[in-house]
């Protein structure tokens, strides 16, 4: 421990640092001030560059006192920023990693910079990133004169010289407040027929400094403040001031805080927490209550506080605290004529005089509770469930050897290794403890299979004395060397009918163990030579149960425009099979004809892994698979989340990888995923051919993607993901907007989430329409809607290609990209981004009121070809590849 502290101190003294302290406008320049640390040479060769749309511009920089640096970006360069740009520093030929100085970090009121008719947002992420974050808004150069007439609790009155563009006799107006990366809307009510407007609703405002604009006719006008006004007043959540900065109107909001000089947290025997605190010398006869806030779910619980001589007490039921194991925050609510909600303000020593860590039993397991002082000095509660320690250490001879840690923290419980069919969720269980060996040769896996080709997942299950499952988690292989087209152990078994059942132990990209299985029925005719393939026979598909993406579009194009013997494969029980079964050469997955074509097809084309289009395992040694040509048609535009299609993940990788742009090809598929130049082509996606907007759409499509960390029903229903969308489609303000503007939201959850949302959310508002899986193609849904709300789905690119607006819900962006993001968020998320529910609804409101006008962004860096010739280009590239293979 001492060595680590010494090493940390040493690093502070020798590692070169460039920390930005502040930024500001001065004489038509945007200035950044940096502090340089641990640069021991006197002479420094400093190069500052501004990158805009791949163009580099050299910037003026000035070094002061050898350790301070000022960099200037002239306004004419800032005017060129359309989406995102960056300021990069090189010192003595070494590229610098820019960080935030402490002075910069404690500044809660950083703001965007108004340049011309746009506000530029600024953040520090290795470089200085400057974004046109509010590209969808039109800022006017003209301003509107404003006078502050009065302020009082939860309200202020402005005299506004209304612009001519505002309708005569308008009763309501809106003020838009902007800071660096957020905006809010304040609604004002007109007093009589004059120019006075009162604003009295601040619930959606957050702490910070907000520059205010008047919204009229889809334009934003700066408010020129004619009088200084420095009186501080209160709203329910904040202390706020109206400020005059450079003659313009700002609102500054700070949260109410209450200093606590004593706090006691005590566990009682009746499963309650006795919560006590005092306010020092603060004398009051006002009633207070304790509010427990769960930010991730939006749940609030309020408990009355008993006041005995300045000591406030209440009891918190343990069951309420642990209903969800999300972080909690604590507030004090003042019940007075001017009610307020206060944050706790805790000194470092305040919590040292009470117990802050507890272990309690919940759902037959020990849960750790930790009360702590948050960064904003308020009080928080974190809860950590018992950790289930387990792993597979060896796989050989079709058996697994593993270990499970002591499960004492799971009270009165037993552990099992569960083998579960992914399709039917039928399972079998084997008791395990300590070091264990499970021989799969002795398990009846044939009976467990629900389909000829399926996956059997492995879980460790903990059951309590009542046989309730209290934990179900996948188990990892410590020696995993993940390959999609290989396996660790393999057996073949015959059943009484003479059918061959093939089983392979493999792992997922997360190294979780699974068993893949396929069946070759005894009536399937296997050619003597499966290594000879027919170049004119092409087999393609998407997921085994879908027909609405690049696969089906390219299949239809081939049949209409070429002499290729093209086949499309899909499962018979898929709802989408009904829509295409009339087409020539549509194969039922696993049918005799499917096997026949799979044995002889030279070209395999999939939007996902080729598992989805072959009736057997795509691996060397299975029916000449190594002799096929493998084409990845893609199911989206890459550049966001890390995907599984890296070249290193295959013994026999794709021969041709389809992308939509040169940056996607070079930055993602070549540099990041390891493919060579000749293996990647920027043809565009086949489905783009069908993106043609005919009739003007009206409604909103809500289409979130999945979260890979959710594995069980219980996890889903308690997840932040489920609660975020359940709360959104019940948001009162949003529902009011839908009613007012006669708009519907059509909710199309990810296929893995469909059942949950349909069954768990009762009494949906009539403006929220649920779209069942397969009832419409995704492409038609995109064409039929005016606005798309998604989170991270690549279907947003299709929508943008249709020149329609996309709004993103990034409530869990850090967790979603916890394993990295392929390109910066500002480069691929083209549209409005909401980080929490209220912000998202405000952005949606703005788009509705703008008649669903699109945001102004340049997309050539995302989609190279904006035409209907994508399928033709793909076909030509495959033919070129066949020619190369033929000649070699």
pLDDT per position as a tens digit, 91-138: 998 999 999 998 887 766 678 888 888 899 998 988 999 988 887 788
Q: Quick one: pLDDT band at residue 861, thresholds 50, 70, 90? A: confident
Alpha-carbon dihedral angle through residues 883, 885, 886, 888, given to the nearest 10 degrees: 120
Which residue would you say has higher pLDDT here, 761 or 405? 405
pLDDT attached to residue 232 = 86
User: Domain coordinates of the chain in residue numbers?
Assistant: 17-131, 139-255, 257-385, 393-520, 534-689, 693-849
User: Which DSSP category does 251 fall into?
Assistant: E
Question: At the fourth CATH level, which superfamily is domain 534-689?
Answer: CDP-glycerol glycerophosphotransferase, N-terminal domain (3.40.50.11820)
CATH number corresponding to 693-849: 3.40.50.12580
Pairing of strands 365-373, 745-747: unpaired
Q: How many other CB atoms are there within 10 angstroms of residue 6's CB atom?
A: 10
How far CA 632 is from CA of 606, 795, 799, in Å, comes to: 5, 17, 22
CATH number corresponding to 17-131: 2.60.40
Query: Is the distance from CB of 208 to CB of 253 less than 8 angstroms?
Result: yes
Question: At the fourth CATH level, which superfamily is domain 257-385?
Answer: Immunoglobulins (2.60.40.10)
- Express each pLDDT in 779-808 by its tens digit: 889 999 999 999 998 889 888 888 899 999
- Express each pLDDT in 254-287 by its tens digit: 999 999 989 999 999 878 999 999 987 666 778 9
How many residues does this entry show for the chain?
888
Query: Is the distance from CB of 671 to CB of 665 less than 8 angstroms?
Result: no
Give the mean pLDDT of 191-200.
86
Angle at 210 (CA atoms; ends 70, 175), nearest 5 degrees: 140
- Buried/exposed 366-395: b ≥16 CB within 10 Å, e otherwise: bbebebebbeebbbbbebebbebebbbeeb
The first and second tokens of residue 800, run together, are 């943008």
At what angle are helices 870-887 and 550-561 packed, to 10 degrees?
80
- Express each pLDDT in 209-252 by its tens digit: 999 999 887 889 999 998 887 788 899 999 999 998 888 999 99
Give the mean pLDDT of 627-653.
91
The first and second tokens of residue 115, run together, are 């340049």
pLDDT at 486 over 60: yes
Alpha-carbon dihedral angle through residues 615, 616, 622, 623, given to the nearest 10 degrees: -10
Q: Quick one: pLDDT band at residue 4, thresholds 50, 70, 90? A: low
Question: Rounded to an integer, what distance in angstroms lies between the CA atom of residue 25 and that of residue 41?
Answer: 31
Domains 257-385 and 693-849 belong to one CATH topology? no
Q: What is the mean pLDDT of the chain?
A: 90
């Amino acid at each position: 421990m001492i060595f680590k502290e010494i090493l940390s101190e040493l690093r502070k003294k020798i590692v070169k640092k460039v920390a930005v302290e502040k930024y500001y406008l001065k004489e038509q320049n945007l200035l950044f001030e940096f502090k340089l640390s641990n640069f021991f040479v006197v002479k420094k060769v400093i190069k500052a560059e501004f990158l805009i749309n791949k163009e580099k511009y050299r910037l003026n920089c000035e070094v002061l006192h050898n350790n301070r640096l000022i960099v200037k970006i002239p306004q004419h360069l800032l005017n060129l920023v359309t989406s995102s740009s960056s300021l990069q520093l090189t010192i003595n030929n070494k590229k610098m990693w820019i960080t935030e100085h402490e002075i910069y970090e404690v500044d809660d009121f950083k703001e965007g910079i108004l340049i011309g008719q746009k506000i530029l947002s600024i953040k520090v992420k290795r470089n200085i990133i400057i974004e046109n974050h509010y590209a969808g808004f039109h800022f006017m150069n003209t301003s509107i004169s404003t006078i502050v007439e009065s302020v009082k609790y939860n309200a202020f009155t402005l005299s506004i010289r209304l612009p001519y563009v505002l309708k005569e006799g308008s009763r309501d107006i809106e003020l838009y407040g902007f800071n660096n990366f957020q905006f809010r809307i304040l609604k004002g009510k007109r007093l009589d027929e004059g120019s006075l407007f009162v604003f009295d609703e601040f619930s959606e405002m957050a702490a910070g400094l907000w520059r205010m604009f008047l919204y009229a006719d889809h334009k934003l006008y700066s408010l020129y403040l004619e009088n200084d006004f420095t009186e501080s007043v209160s709203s329910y959540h904040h202390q706020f001031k109206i400020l005059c900065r450079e003659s313009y109107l700002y609102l500054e909001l700070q949260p109410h805080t209450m200093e606590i000089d004593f706090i006691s947290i005590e566990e009682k025997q009746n499963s309650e927490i006795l919560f006590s605190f005092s306010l020092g010398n603060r004398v009051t006869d006002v009633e207070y209550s304790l509010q427990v806030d769960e930010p991730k779910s939006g749940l609030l619980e309020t408990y009355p506080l008993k006041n005995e001589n300045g000591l406030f007490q209440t009891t918190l039921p343990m069951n309420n605290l642990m209903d969800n194991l999300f972080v909690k925050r604590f507030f004090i609510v003042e019940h007075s004529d001017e009610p307020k909600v206060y944050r706790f303000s805790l000194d470092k020593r305040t919590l040292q005089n009470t117990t802050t860590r507890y272990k309690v039993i919940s759902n037959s397991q020990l849960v750790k509770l930790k009360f702590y002082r948050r960064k904003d000095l308020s009080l928080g509660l974190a809860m950590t469930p018992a950790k289930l320690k387990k792993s597979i250490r060896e796989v050989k001879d079709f058996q697994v050897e593993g270990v499970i840690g002591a499960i004492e923290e799971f009270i009165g419980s037993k552990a099992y290794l569960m083998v579960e069919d992914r399709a039917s969720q039928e399972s079998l269980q084997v008791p395990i403890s300590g070091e264990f060996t499970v021989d799969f040769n002795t398990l009846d896996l044939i009976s467990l299979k629900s389909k000829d080709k399926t996956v059997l997942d492995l879980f460790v299950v903990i059951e309590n004395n009542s046989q309730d499952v209290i934990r179900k988690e996948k188990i990892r292989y410590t020696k995993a060397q993940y390959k999609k087209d290989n396996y660790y152990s393999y057996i073949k078994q015959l059943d009484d009918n003479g059918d061959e059942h093939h089983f392979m132990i493999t792992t997922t990209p997360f190294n979780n163990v699974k068993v893949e299985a396929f069946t070759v029925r005894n009536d399937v005719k296997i050619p003597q030579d499966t290594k000879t393939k027919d170049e004119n026979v092409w087999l393609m598909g998407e997921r085994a149960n879908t027909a609405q993406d690049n696969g089906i579009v390219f299949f239809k194009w081939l049949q209409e425009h070429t002499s290729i013997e093209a086949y499309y494969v899909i499962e018979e029980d898929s709802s989408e099979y009904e829509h295409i079964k009339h087409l020539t050469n549509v194969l039922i997955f696993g049918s005799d004809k499917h096997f026949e074509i799979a044995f002889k097809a030279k070209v395999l084309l999939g939007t996902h892994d080729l598992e989805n289009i072959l009736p057997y395992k795509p691996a060397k040694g299975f029916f000449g698979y190594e002799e096929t040509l493998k084409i990845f048609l893609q199911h989206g535009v890459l550049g966001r989340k890390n995907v599984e299609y890296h070249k290193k993940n295959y013994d026999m990788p794709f021969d041709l990888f389809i992308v939509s742009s040169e940056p996607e090809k070079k930055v993602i598929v070549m540099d990041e995923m390891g493919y060579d130049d000749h293996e990647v082509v920027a043809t565009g996606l086949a489905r783009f051919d069908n993106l043609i907007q005919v009739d003007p759409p009206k409604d909103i499509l809500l289409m979130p993607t999945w979260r890979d960390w959710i594995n069980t029903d219980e996890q889903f229903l308690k997840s932040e993901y489920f609660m975020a969308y359940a709360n959104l489609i019940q948001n009162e303000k949003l529902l009011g907007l839908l009613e007012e503007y006669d708009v519907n939201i059509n909710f199309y959850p990810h296929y893995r989430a469909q059942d949950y949302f349909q069954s768990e959310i009762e009494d949906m508002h009539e403006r929220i329409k649920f779209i069942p899986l397969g009832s419409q193609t995704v492409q038609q849904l995109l064409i039929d809607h005016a606005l798309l709300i998604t989170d991270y789905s690549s279907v947003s690119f299709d929508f943008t290609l249709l020149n329609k607006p996309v709004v993103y819900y990034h409530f869990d962006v850090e967790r979603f990209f916890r394993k990295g993001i392929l390109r910066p968020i500002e480069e691929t998320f083209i549209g409005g981004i909401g980080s929490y529910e209220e912000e998202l609804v405000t952005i949606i409101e703005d788009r509705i009121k703008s008649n669903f006008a699109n945001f102004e962004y340049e997309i050539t860096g995302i989609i190279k070809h904006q035409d209907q010739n994508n399928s033709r280009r793909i076909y030509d590239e495959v033919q070129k590849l066949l020619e190369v293979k033929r000649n070699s």
